[in-house]
Structure 1
């Protein structure tokens, strides 16, 4: 029961709660309606936080007893945060500069456009028009390639390394060892009595007693 609850907690509940919390923050937090230098600074700081999260999650994977599920939790935190940062900037850019896209963007529209760019399945219903919007979309394309080729590979490598190190640990697998069989030890100074000459061999049991009895009978007669 405890193992099953741990599996549900790491593989299902934590990733689901993480994605839900990030979506709630995206829709509820107020943002500027005009693209300002402060907005650009916040966006750059958010990308720096994503990089720090990658480093921290890799370290947690390398120490986790369940590296695969910790990797799922890492992806459930890093990928949504990465996409929501771009969606937020698209939303601000669409409101601050109405001609940046083909139409005004709501929060859902901005998130939809971000996911289509990430998945490279753009349908053409929302397209960047201004130079600023095209530069931002191009930057996301490059960042998407970095995430898919570097971040995912780093996380998967950390999971595989942790799994191999867990198998190599002494306590990682149950090994049966037979206890050593104690060997009989001789006491110091003990030597087995052996005879090197056949005439010194010990007589058979009862031989000396019959000889003495015969001599006594002869002497009494």
Structure 2
């Protein structure tokens, strides 16, 4: 199989994963923020468990992407999938915590805020006001720094391997 075919297959898999992850995010049964859903301790344990699983998945994907035999197109496609997973995970958390945000009412609002946080733009139209929401945003910013660093590593590594 030629390198262009390998690259196209990687992008096709990534596009399918992005559609699937986004679709699951919009149809998954998530309780409204004001619906009682367990104790704060249970929610914290669930959040920590989710972050641990997400960290493992990101680490695994980045490790796979950094293999020398991977084409740059494959590396970037894998990174897109990881970014989509991280954005959807945090968007779901924000939607579940919507009562701790000003301006966040819908799943699209939560997804928008997650993407804006990833981009470090911060328009100010959606703002975390609760302490729990602020803590989750801090965790996402840390993840985002890791993702950006990983992207730079992939791109620079891809350029160096072609020299």
The bucket for the TM-score relative to the shorter chain is 0.7 to 0.9
SS at match of 2:24: helix
**Equivalent of 1:55, from 34, 55, 59?**
59
What residue in structure 2 maps to residue 121 of structure 1? 121
Select the structure that is richer in helix. 2
Cα deviation for residue 52 of structure 1 reads 2.1
Q: Which of these two proteins has the greater Rg computed from alpha carbons? A: 1
Equivalent residues of 1:31, 1:92 under 8 A apart: yes
Distance 1:42 1:152, change over 3 A: farther
Matched, 1:7 2:3: no
Cα deviation for residue 116 of structure 1 reads 1.0
What residue in structure 2 maps to residue 152 of structure 1? 151
Q: Return 5+ residue gaps in structure 2 as ranges.
A: none
Q: Return 5+ residue gaps in structure 1 as ranges.
A: 168-221
Equivalent residues of 1:43, 1:85 under 8 A apart: no
Q: What's the RMSD between the two structures over aligned residues? A: 2.8
Equivalent residues of 2:118, 2:144 under 8 A apart: yes
Cα deviation for residue 144 of structure 1 reads 2.1
SS at match of 1:121: coil
**Equivalent of 2:95, from 84, 91, 98?**
91
The within-5 A match list for 1:132-171 is 132-149=132-149, 151-156=150-155, 159=158, 163=161
* Count of paired positions: 157
Cα deviation for residue 137 of structure 1 reads 2.1
SS at match of 2:31: coil
Distance 1:35 1:78, change over 3 A: farther
The within-5 A match list for 1:1-221 is 3=2, 4-10=4-10, 12-33=11-32, 34=36, 36=38, 37-61=41-65, 63=67, 65-94=69-98, 98=99, 100-149=100-149, 151-156=150-155, 159=158, 163=161
